[in-house]
Amino acid sequence: MTDAARAIDETAAESESLAPAVTRAGAILDLLAENAGKAAGPSELARRLGLPKSSIANICNALADMGLVRRVGTGFALGRKLAELGGAYLASVDLVQEFYEAAQLLPVGSEETIQLAVLDGLEMTYLARHDGRQPVRLTSQIGRRLPATVTATGKAALSSLPDADLDDRLAGASPLPTLTPNSIGTIEALRADLVAVRERGYSMDDEETVEGVVCYGVMIPGRRPGEGPYAASITLLKARATEERIPLLIDDLHRLAEQLSDPLRAGRVPRHAGVVQNP
Amino acid sequence: MTDAARAIDETAAESESLAPAVTRAGAILDLLAENAGKAAGPSELARRLGLPKSSIANICNALADMGLVRRVGTGFALGRKLAELGGAYLASVDLVQEFYEAAQLLPVGSEETIQLAVLDGLEMTYLARHDGRQPVRLTSQIGRRLPATVTATGKAALSSLPDADLDDRLAGASPLPTLTPNSIGTIEALRADLVAVRERGYSMDDEETVEGVVCYGVMIPGRRPGEGPYAASITLLKARATEERIPLLIDDLHRLAEQLSDPLRAGRVPRHAGVVQNP
DNA sequence: GCCCATCGTCCAGCATACTGAACGGATGGC
DNA sequence: GCCATCCGTTCAGTATGCTGGACGATGGGC
Question: Is the Cα torsion angle B88, B89, B93, B97 positive or negative in sign?
Answer: negative
- Put simply, the answer to whether B87 touches A90 (Cβ < 8 Å) is no
Which letter does DSSP use for residue A40 in this model? B
Q: What is the pLDDT of residues A39-56, one digit of tens each?
A: 899 999 999 999 999 999
pLDDT at B273 exceeding the cut of 80: no
| A88 CA to centre of own chain | 17
Chain D nucleotides reached by a protein CB under 7 Å: 6-11, 16-21
Do residues B137 and B149 make contact, with C-beta atoms less than 8 angstroms apart?
Answer: no
Residues A112 and A250: their CA atoms lie apart, in Å, by: 12
Residues B75 and B38: their CA atoms lie apart, in Å, by: 9
Q: What is the pLDDT of residues B47-79, one digit of tens each?
A: 999 999 999 999 999 999 999 999 988 889 999
Collect all residues with Cβ–Cβ distance below 8 Å to A162 and sequence separation of at least 6.
none
Q: What is the pLDDT of residues B196-227, one digit of tens each?
A: 999 999 999 999 999 999 999 999 998 877 78
Q: What is the pLDDT of residues B25-43, one digit of tens each?
A: 999 999 999 887 788 999 9
Restricting to B residues 141-160, those with a Cβ less than 8 Å away from any Cβ of A are 141-145
With 0.85 as the threshold, say if the pTM is over it: yes
Residue A213's beta-bridge partner residues? A237
**A161: nearest Cα among A134, A189, A190:** A190
Residues A264 and A267: their CA atoms lie apart, in Å, by: 5
- Picking from B17, B59, B82, the nearest residue to A85 by CB comes out as B82
Mutual angle of helices A20-34 and B20-34, in 10-degree steps: 70
Q: Is B258 helix (H, G, I), strand (E, B) or coil?
A: helix
pLDDT category of residue B263 using cuts at 50, 70 and 90: low
Restricting to B residues 74-93, those with a Cβ less than 8 Å away from any Cβ of A are 77-92
Q: Is A232 helix (H, G, I), strand (E, B) or coil?
A: strand
pLDDT recorded at residue A276: 33
pLDDT recorded at residue A8: 42
